[in-house]
Structure 1
């Protein structure tokens, strides 16, 4: 029986002060990994980062309804933010460890933003007040519905997405990634919000601002198929 690549998925946490704190992750993250040919594993927070990275073949940093501390990308907070330092520091350690191993990484929404920060980029703290004539990127509708289009503007090392190609994607965020020399911009929305980034060197290191786990757009399947193909190759090389 062929070995399925093991994908570590980071969960959210509901309330670190509660006596019955729970890790939470949407089922569709695990489902889409399974359907793309992977074996999903949940990664509880802890100091055993290297042990996790030894055990998995790909890292999926999920989204979440919270903010990354602006101090991590050398900015002052311009308003009061909801932050989850335990989650962020754990995910940051995982990303940095995975980068050092050239392990495939996929960052989704907040996960893309943290990936950008780890690569050396900065964030737009609030799209409505910082980007003139911005679209609604956090609409009052389910993520299973496309919200706006994106256009492919860069050449990916891993995705077969020709420049100029347009996709209709969902959207659930109010912060975004700033352009940087630290990574390649692969896609933008009509208001010039960065929608996809890729590391300029190393292994598969991709961030997308939308939520491809809902499989709303054609590109969503490509994202996960490419991620799992790279994880499979990484697994075979490692073993």
Structure 2
């Protein structure tokens, strides 16, 4: 008999360094998650569980065994290039290796179990790295004639247009050829990880979305659909489809 309960979706938490930055963060190390991730999940019919980065060795496997889906969130930090076999360049930003190590291990175990995975912004980059891919460490430095990918306007507004690749899972979800998306990143997918295909590109040719050809549902998006979802049908479709897949693939359902 199919379970009727809402699927449990793990959302990876960000980390603060414990230093006070104005009034934004408490003056102690803190795990936190912007509310719009959980709001988008819950609006689509899921229940969110925040996953703090932890050094407890069995934690990633235990989390994956208890979840119906995984959302790898974004954050204001860069993935250290040692995770994809490169040395840092000068324009590399702030890094959080503890979070990255946790997310890469968590992602790897989720992929082994074929757990549905949605990666947003840095989460899309984490999926690519977990599957053996690499990143542009700094778009402006490493890509000639690249467009601006760090919009000055609020994230609730579009920053540029992307082209959805025909025949991809993303195209089937949003049912559009183009989308206006926000953009707040200075890194991007470079070499694709194993089994990944490009599902969206920016006007300058930069990869804006990836998905797996080897898993039931692995979707990485370079923009922030959770910020746009409240007022944008096409962004809401992404979360609705994700939750529907989690329900269908739920173990024991």
What is the TM-score when the length of structure 2 is the normalising length?
0.88
The alignment partner of 2:172 has SS state of coil
How much has 1:81 moved relative to structure 2? 3.4
* Distance in 2, Cα, partners of 1:218 & 1:131: 32
The alignment partner of 1:174 has SS state of coil
* Distance in 1, Cα, partners of 2:243 & 2:175: 23
C-alpha contact 2:171 2:177 (8 A) present in aligned 1? no
Map 1:125-140 → 2, pairs under 5 A: 125-140=137-152
**Residue 52 of structure 1: aligned partner:** 63
Q: Deviations over 1:18-66 (max 9, x none)?
A: 8722112111100000000100001122221111112110000000111
**Residue 33 of structure 2: aligned partner:** 25
* Residue among 61, 67, 75 paired with 2:86: 75
* Distance in 2, Cα, partners of 1:164 & 1:225: 16
How much has 1:181 moved relative to structure 2? 6.2
Given the superposition, is the C-alpha separation of residues 154 and 24 from structure 1 closer, same or farther in structure 2, using an over 3 Å criterion? same
Match status 1:112 vs 2:112: no
Given the superposition, is the C-alpha separation of residues 37 and 191 from structure 1 closer, same or farther in structure 2, using an over 3 Å criterion? same
The alignment partner of 1:238 has SS state of coil
* Distance in 2, Cα, partners of 1:24 & 1:56: 19
Given the superposition, is the C-alpha separation of residues 165 and 127 from structure 1 closer, same or farther in structure 2, using an over 3 Å criterion? same
Match status 1:6 vs 2:28: no
Task: Name stretches of at least 5 consecutive residues in structure 2 with no aligned partner.
Answer: 20-25
Q: Which contiguous aligned blocks of 4+ residues in structure 1 show a shift greater than 6 angstroms?
A: none
Q: Deviations over 1:171-195 (max 9, x none)?
A: 1100000143621000000001100
* Distance in 2, Cα, partners of 1:223 & 1:174: 24
Match status 1:39 vs 2:54: no
Q: Deviations over 1:146-166 (max 9, x none)?
A: 000000125224651589801
After superposing the two structures, state which structure 1 stretch, 216-225 or 13-22, moved more.
13-22
After superposing the two structures, state which structure 1 stretch, 16-25 or 118-127, moved more.
16-25
Given the superposition, is the C-alpha separation of residues 94 and 238 from structure 1 closer, same or farther in structure 2, using an over 3 Å criterion? farther
How much has 1:95 moved relative to structure 2? 0.2
Task: Name stretches of at least 5 consecutive residues in structure 1 with no aligned partner.
Answer: none
**Residue 236 of structure 2: aligned partner:** 221
After superposing the two structures, state which structure 1 stretch, 16-25 or 119-128, moved more.
16-25
What is the TM-score when the length of structure 1 is the normalising length?
0.92
Please tell me the root mean square deviation across aligned C-alpha atoms, in Å: 2.1
